[in-house]
A and B are shown apart, each in its own frame.
Chain A
Amino acid sequence: MARRGRATKGWAALALAGGLVLGAGSQGTFAFWSDTDTVASGSFTTGRLDLTVDGAQGNPTAYAATNLALATMVPGESVAATLTVRNAGDAPFTFRASATKAGDLATPLVVEVLAGSTQTGDDATYPRTEGCSGGTPLSPTTATRLDVAASLTLCVKVSLPFETADTFQSKTTPSTVSVALAATQVAA
C-alpha cells in the first residue's frame, strides 16, 4: 500500500512539472492579422391593412351613408343602401360586421347587413319598401375574406316592422344606425 501511494505522488509531480513548462511557454505575445466586413441590408417598411367604405376610411370618423335615411316611417316601411367595402391595403383580411342602433327608434328598428347584395326598391312612393337583392347575411361572427384590391358590395337594410308598437309613433328626433366593420389580417 505504501508503495502504491508513492507511485501516485510521483505521477502528480510529473504532471505539475509539465504544466509549469507549458505555462511558461504560453506567456509569449503573438501578433495575428485580422479583417472585418459589414453587410448592409436593404430597407424595411411596413405595409398596412386598409378597409375602406365607399372609398372612405370610415375611421376614426364614420362614413356617413346619407342615403340610408327615412323620415316619418310607419310599420312595414324600410330603407336600404349599398355600400362598397374594399381592401385598399397590402394584405388580405377577413372582416366582420356588427350593427348598432341609437335613438328613440333603437328598439323597434331592424337592421340587416348582407354581403354581395345591392339595394332595390323605392323610398319615394308609399309604402316605401326598399330592400336588398340576394346576398349572404353578415354578423359579428361571420368572417368574410377580402383579398388585396378586391371589393365587395354590402347592402344595409333598416326596417320598421309591421308589429311595431303604437308607442313608437311620431318619434321625430332622428334615430341612427351604425355598421362597424372590423378587419383582421390573414396569413395566407
Chain B
Amino acid sequence: MSRATLVVLALLLGLGVGTTLGSRTPATLAAFSDSAAATSGGLTSGAIAKPTSPVGSRSLAGAVTLSWAATPAGTGTAGTYRVLRWSAPTGGTSVQACATTAPTTTCSDAGAPLLATAYYSLVATVGAAWSKESDRVAVPVAGSSDTVAPALSVGFPTTGTSFSSGSMSTKVAAGCPAGGVACGSTSDNVATTAVTYRLERRSGAGPVSVTECWNGSAWSGATCLLGQQPATLVGGTAWRVPGLLEPAYPNAFGAAAFTLTVRAVDAAGNATTATSTFSTT
C-alpha cells in the first residue's frame, strides 16, 4: 500500500471519528441565568432553667416520695427528669433514685437509707444534652421526721396595699431591702430551706387585660408557676423577690393588679403558702 493511500485512509478515519464524537457532544451554549435568595427571620435558642429542689417525704417504711415543679425550658418545660440521691449535702457520691418523663413530676425512691438522712437533687433535661441540676434537699430518717411547716408572711406589699404607679417603687424601697421588689419573713422549727414565688401583674380590663409574670428581672408573657422562681432567702428567716424596682414598678405604668404567692419549704418537705394582692393606680 502506497504512502498516499495510507494518508487518505487516515484522513477518512479521522473524519469518521470526529463526526461521531461531534454528534454525541452537545455544543456549549451560553444560556441565560437568574438567581434569587430567601432569608429567614431570626432564630435564637432558649435555655433550660435551674430546677427547683424536689420536695421529699418519707414513709414509715422508709420509701421517699419526691415531687417537684416543672422546670422551664425555652417556651415550655423540660422533657425528662432524673432524681439523684446523694450521700452528703455537698460533695459525696450519687445514684439515680428515679426518673420520669414530663409531665410527670413525682417519683418514689425505695432505696433511701433507713437510718440516715438522704439528700436529693433534681436534674431536668431537654433534648439529649441540655440539662441543669437543682440544689440538694435533705430528707430526714423515718420516725424522726419533722412535721411542722414553716411560718411564712409577706412583709411588703401586704394585701390591700394600693399606691399610684408613680410612687410604688419608692414605697417598696422603703418597705423592703435593696434588690427586692417584695419581701417578707419565714421561720421553722428546724429550718426553712427554700422560698419560691409567683408574682403576677394584670393590667387592662375585660378581654384586653394582660397578665404577665415577674421572672426576677422583667415582666414576661410566659405562664408562671409557683415553685419555678426562687426567692432570695437571707439567713433562713428573711426572703425577698429579686429584681430592680423601676422595671418591676414603672412610674408611668398606671393601673395594675398584682398577686404575689410565696411558698416556704423545710428540709422535711413541709410547705406553707402565703398570698398578697395589691395594686397600683
Contacts and interface: CB of A to CB of B under 8 A. Distances in A.
B41 interface: yes
B253 interface: no
A143 interface: no
A148 interface: no
Interface string B13-55: 0000000000000000101111111111111111110000000
B44 A59 contact: no
Contacts of B39: 62-65, 176-179
Interface string B66-98: 000000011111010000000000000000000
A68 B41 CA distance: 6
A162 B42 contact: no
Interface stretch (A11-19, A32-40, A131-139, A164-172): A164-172
Contacts of A91: 32
A167 to B, nearest CB: 9
Nearest to A161: B127
Given A65-B41, A83-B38, A162-B128, A72 B46 contact: yes
A53 B33 CA distance: 15
Interface in B110-124: none
B267 interface: no
B38 A178 contact: yes
A4 to B, nearest CB: 34
Nearest to B45: A171
Contacts of B43: 69-71, 73, 79, 103, 105, 109, 158, 174-177
Contacts of B31: 184-187
A143 to B, nearest CB: 13
A63 B35 contact: no
The 6 lowest CB-CB distance pairs between A and B, nearest first, are A75-B127, A174-B42, A69-B41, A126-B76, A58-B36, A72-B46
Interface of A: 47-54, 56-59, 62-77, 79, 81, 83, 85, 89, 91, 93, 103-105, 109, 126-128, 156, 158, 160-166, 168-187
19 contacts: A49-B32, A51-B36, A64-B41, A69-B40, A71-B46, A73-B44, A75-B129, A75-B130, A76-B127, A93-B34, A165-B129, A168-B45, A169-B46, A170-B45, A174-B41, A175-B42, A181-B36, A183-B35, A184-B31
